[in-house]
Amino acid sequence: MAEFRVCPDSGFYFHKSAESLMKVNAVVGIVALLVAGLLALGVVLTRWQEVHWLPADTFYMVLTAHGINALIFWIIFFEMAVLHFASSTLLRCRIATPRWAWTGFFLMLIGAIMNNVAVFSGQSSVMMTSYVPMQAEPHFYLGLILFAVGALIQVFVFFGTLVVAQQEKTYEGSVPLVTFGAITAAIIAVFTIASGAIILIPTFLWSIGYVSHIDAEMYRVIWWGMGHSSQQINVAAHVSIWYLVAGVLFGARPMSEKVSRFAFLLYILFLQLASAHHILVDPGISTEWKIFNTSYAMYLAVLASMIHGLTVPGSMEVAQRRKGFTKGLFEWLRKAPWGNPVFSSVFISIVTFGFIGGITGVVMGTEQINLIIHNTIYVPAHFHATVVTGTTLTFMAVTYLLIPVLFRKQIFLPWIAKIQPYVFGGGMTILILFMLGAGTMGVSRRHWDMDFAGAAMAFEYPAIAYTMMAIGAIGGVLAIVGGGMFLVSSVGSLLFGKKLEPSAGILESFAGKPLADSAYNVDKPEVLAMAPQLEEEPHKGFEAPGTFMLAMLLLVTFVVYYFINWKYLASVWPLG
Amino acid sequence: MTSFMPPADKHWWKVPVGRQELIWIAIALVWCIIMFLMMPLWHVYGKQNLSTEAYQTTPAKFGAKVEEMVEKYKVGTESGMPIVAPPVGSDVYMLGRLWQWYPILKLKKNQEYRLHLSSMDWQHGWSLQPDNINLQIVPGYDMVLKITPDKSGEYSVICNEYCGIGHHTMVGKIYVED
């Protein structure tokens, strides 16, 4: 029986089992995003001091659940779908051991539910970081452990699928760049999950009384081997999707396979060192350790991101110029499909990730500058620029791309999808910029009351800090509306979108029978050929001058902002 | 079109890299090296560098040292909390616990002190406002840093590491006198 189908619109091949796995992982991820988004409303409406909605205990519970559902469950479930897509679909091969992949998926699902039950029972409001010796209930840790084991299994199925593709010779030459990026993400995931296991298993044993003591500093160092690295999986995954979208929408080819792959290799080698960012103002950590690790050896992973920052939009520019959009520096960009949510999401993602997420991350990860930023609301501002406008927006883009291709449904109410990236990206950017400002004024993160009600001694923030938090919260509400629009668009398309191919039924479509049998009529996909050779002579000069200008603008912003922060640091109490 | 296809050239690693990318990589690498060098340079020329001095301790041991200092150098109380004015250059102590920073310190401007910080229970965040210096306070570790308050006035220490339901009430004080 034929196990494959080919999508008539995109030419992508889907293996039946892999397709079901992509669907369930993506859909459960989106459910986690829905939960996280609803909880976000509680967070912003409480931190907006004039509204100050939730009581303290509920606030901390909601904040814990928001962090875990957004940063762990949404993103990692969705990443599993991306991995199966980048292996089985892109390499046109069957998925290795779908049974194990399902086992992994169910373990993740059970773990995610168990952890949420622990948090919503109110006895595990320990924040995502669950720093010891503050203790959560045992099933808080156990849920995370099961989730991690499940994720690890799915990652190994991904590696297995690569082997299948190679053995069965389903492609010529080397794996595509997007798959290469996905391999990067998967390798980082293995490191991440190993770090998580090393610290969460003893912590679980401690919570049930089998281990008497967990050193708080050791916990921090190892936990961040998971906590930070898990966000590095995102970077590798969303950069891969940027390349995918550039290829699908513009027919862009990587400016240089060698450069882009080298940049991914730098991620594998250096990105995880950034776990040190969280340890810079801890007791007793040596200066050399901090400088080496916080700078990814010598900012080599930053170098990699700066390379992608040029080559992704650069490849779009080159493709656009070939199509004749050659006027001036930016005609290629003005004539880009701004009404297509796949493009607008990715472009907003590239700009906010680079200009805001990247620059603030490097600044606050500088050994000494961290003194004026650690644990202020600047920190969540930074990672909302990387993980929300960076990763989440990119995952939204790929969802828009996959609804017709993978789910074979037309987008429901396309006008919503069209403006959604602007509402979500715009609202989130407002939130981020004003939280950065408030953080610079010393406003604390993870803090219920900036009035310090009930404290024996008073402290007052300057009025401008309140204004910034309020404007940021308005941006946050706007972003939540944008998130809601995404859910209407994506879930609405699955439920009400026009069918492009006969479905096997809404329930069956998630469990091993994605579409009606008639759709599967390919026994063996054609071997994936190497990309065609470029017909024209390669460009000798600057092939993407507009992108180069944007890159220089990024560099100037970076340099100026970096030194402003050193100047600010120089104004505080001398210490040594 | 080709980011999701195998590279056009079987030996893609031999294809020369375009000029534009080489220039950008060179510029970015130089910037990376400058940023890297800024950190050691600041250790030489800058005045804000966190010490690496720390000792393992226990809440009981650290608490005893704090009490010893309070008894010796207490000069008053405020909101039920002792105000302590230890001699210039001495070892001064501040502890974090649910939910206070103890005691209140009174320091002299432009004088150096050896400040010891630790936690009696959970992790806390020592956040000096409005100067905005932030340190992670970890139970079991006595963190020692030399501080030189260079502006006089009243400073608050807030907690910026989540430490339970009373986290927002954890406010301490440091007075700096001319």
Per-residue pLDDT for chain A (576 aa), expressed as one digit of tens each?
A: 789 999 998 999 999 999 999 999 999 999 999 999 999 999 999 999 999 999 999 999 999 999 999 999 999 999 999 999 999 999 999 999 999 999 999 999 999 999 999 999 999 999 999 999 999 999 999 999 999 999 999 999 999 999 999 999 999 999 999 999 999 999 999 999 999 999 999 999 999 999 999 999 999 999 999 999 999 999 999 999 999 999 999 999 999 999 999 999 999 999 889 899 999 999 999 999 999 999 999 899 999 999 999 999 999 999 999 999 999 999 999 999 999 999 999 999 999 999 999 999 999 999 999 999 999 999 999 999 999 999 999 999 999 999 999 999 999 999 999 999 999 999 999 999 999 999 999 999 999 999 999 999 999 999 999 999 999 999 999 999 999 999 999 999 998 999 988 877 767 777 677 888 888 989 999 999 999 887 776 666 789 999 999 999 999 999 999 999 999 999 999 998
- The tokens for B141 are 């570790």
Domain annotation covers residue B107 = yes
Partner residue opposite B140 with nearest CB, options A134, A216, A257: A216
Strand pairing class (B81-84; B124-129) = unpaired
Q: How far apart are the first and last CA of chain B?
A: 70
B10 vs B16: CA distance, rounded Å: 14
Contact check, Cβ <8 Å, A215/B140 = yes
Contacts of A311 in chain B (CB under 8 A): 21
Q: What pLDDT does A538 receive?
A: 66
Domain annotation covers residue B87 = yes
CATH number of the structural domain spanning residue A355: 1.20.210.10
Chain B contact for A329, CB < 8 A?
no
Domain annotation covers residue B155 = yes
- The tokens for B116 are 């010891």
- Distance of residue B81 Cα from the nearest chain A Cα, in angstroms: 9
| C-alpha separations of B174 from A253, A330, A444, A572, B83 in Å | 60, 55, 19, 15, 9
Element (H, E) at A461: none
Pick the residue of A256, A329, A373 with the most B CBs within 10 A to test the interface with B by mutation: A256
Pick the residue of A273, A306, A457 with the most B CBs within 10 A to test the interface with B by mutation: A457
- Chain B's closest residue to A559, CA to CA, is B31
A63 vs A107: CA distance, rounded Å: 24
Q: What pLDDT does A537 receive?
A: 67
Number of domains within chain A = 1
Query: Which residues of chain A from 460 to 519 reach within 8 Å of chain B, CB to CB?
Result: 461-462
| Calculated CA dihedral for residues A507, A513, A517, A521, nearest 10 degrees | 140
Give the number of C-alpha atoms closer than 13 A to the C-alpha of residue B147, restricted to the C-beta side.
25
Contact check, Cβ <8 Å, B171/A459 = yes
Taking all residues of chain B, what is their mean pLDDT, rounded to a whole number? 96
Domain annotation covers residue A282 = yes
A125 vs A137: CA distance, rounded Å: 10
Domain that holds residue B80: 54-177
Chain B contact for A559, CB < 8 A?
yes
H helical segments located in A323-413: 331-334, 341-352, 359-364, 378-383, 393-405
Q: What pLDDT does A264 receive?
A: 97
Chain B contact for A540, CB < 8 A?
yes
H helical segments located in B8-95: 19-45, 59-73
Domain annotation covers residue A530 = no
Task: Give the number of beta-carbon pairs within 8 Å between A and B.
Answer: 334
Cα-trace Rg, chain B: 24
- One DSSP character per residue, A168-209 reads TT-BSSSPPHHHHHHHHHHHHHHHHHHHHHHHHHHHHHHHTT
- Chain B's closest residue to A282, CA to CA, is B136
| Cα four-point dihedral sign B60, B72, A576, B78 | positive
- The tokens for B37 are 């060098």
Angle between helices A98-120 and A16-47 (to 10 degrees): 20
Partner residue opposite B35 with nearest CB, options A243, A281, A299: A299
Number of domains within chain B = 1
- Chain A's closest residue to B147, CA to CA, is A575
Contact check, Cβ <8 Å, A173/B13 = no
Prediction ipTM score: 0.97
- The tokens for A305 are 């991101």
Partner residue opposite A372 with nearest CB, options B8, B32, B133: B133
Strand pairing class (B141-147; B54-56) = antiparallel
Domain annotation covers residue A78 = yes
Q: What is the pTM of this model?
A: 0.96
For residues A397 and A241, is the Cβ–Cβ distance under 8 A?
Answer: yes
Query: Which residues of chain A from 277 to 306 reach within 8 Å of chain B, CB to CB?
Result: 279-287, 291, 295, 298-300, 302-303, 306
A375 vs A371: CA distance, rounded Å: 9
Q: What is the DSSP letter of A384?
A: I
- One DSSP character per residue, A466-490 reads HHHHHHHHHHHHHHHHHHHHHHHHH
Angle between helices A393-405 and A341-352 (to 10 degrees): 160
Domain annotation covers residue A97 = yes
- The tokens for B114 are 């050896």
Domain annotation covers residue A576 = no
For residues B49 and B146, is the Cβ–Cβ distance under 8 A?
Answer: no
Contact check, Cβ <8 Å, B39/A541 = no
CATH number of the structural domain spanning residue B123: 2.60.40.420
Neighbours of A289 (CB within 10 A): 13
| Cα four-point dihedral sign A332, A333, A334, A335 | positive
Q: What pLDDT does A501 receive?
A: 85
DSSP-based helix, strand, coil % in chain B, nearest 5: 25, 40, 35
A288 vs A284: CA distance, rounded Å: 12
Contact check, Cβ <8 Å, A217/B138 = yes
Domain annotation covers residue A535 = no
Which of A256, A478, A24, A571 is closest to B17 using CA atoms? A256
Q: What is the average pLDDT across B51-68?
A: 97
B141 vs B159: CA distance, rounded Å: 17
- State the pLDDT confidence band at B2, using cuts at 50, 70 and 90: confident
Contact check, Cβ <8 Å, B123/A131 = yes
Pick the residue of B132, B154, B169 with the most A CBs within 10 A to test the interface with A by mutation: B132
Q: How far apart are the first and last CA of chain A?
A: 72
For residues B36 and A299, is the Cβ–Cβ distance under 8 A?
Answer: yes
- Chain A's closest residue to B32, CA to CA, is A299
Which of A189, A30, A171, A187 is closest to A93 using CA atoms? A171
| Cα four-point dihedral sign A7, A10, A11, A14 | negative
Contact check, Cβ <8 Å, B168/A300 = no
Chain B contact for A376, CB < 8 A?
yes
- The tokens for A171 are 């492609």
Beta bridge partners of B116: B93, B144
Neighbours of A325 (CB within 10 A): 18
Q: What is the average pLDDT across B11-18?
A: 92
Q: What is the DSSP letter of A354?
A: I
Q: Apex CA A254: angle with CA A250 and CA A259, to 5°?
A: 155
Which of A395, A364, A362 is closest to A379 using CA atoms? A364
Domain annotation covers residue B116 = yes
Contact check, Cβ <8 Å, A252/B13 = no
Burial A108-117 (b: 16+ CB within 10 A, else e): bbebbebbbe
Domain that holds residue A467: 15-452+459-515+543-570
Contacts of B49 in chain A (CB under 8 A): 287, 368, 575-576
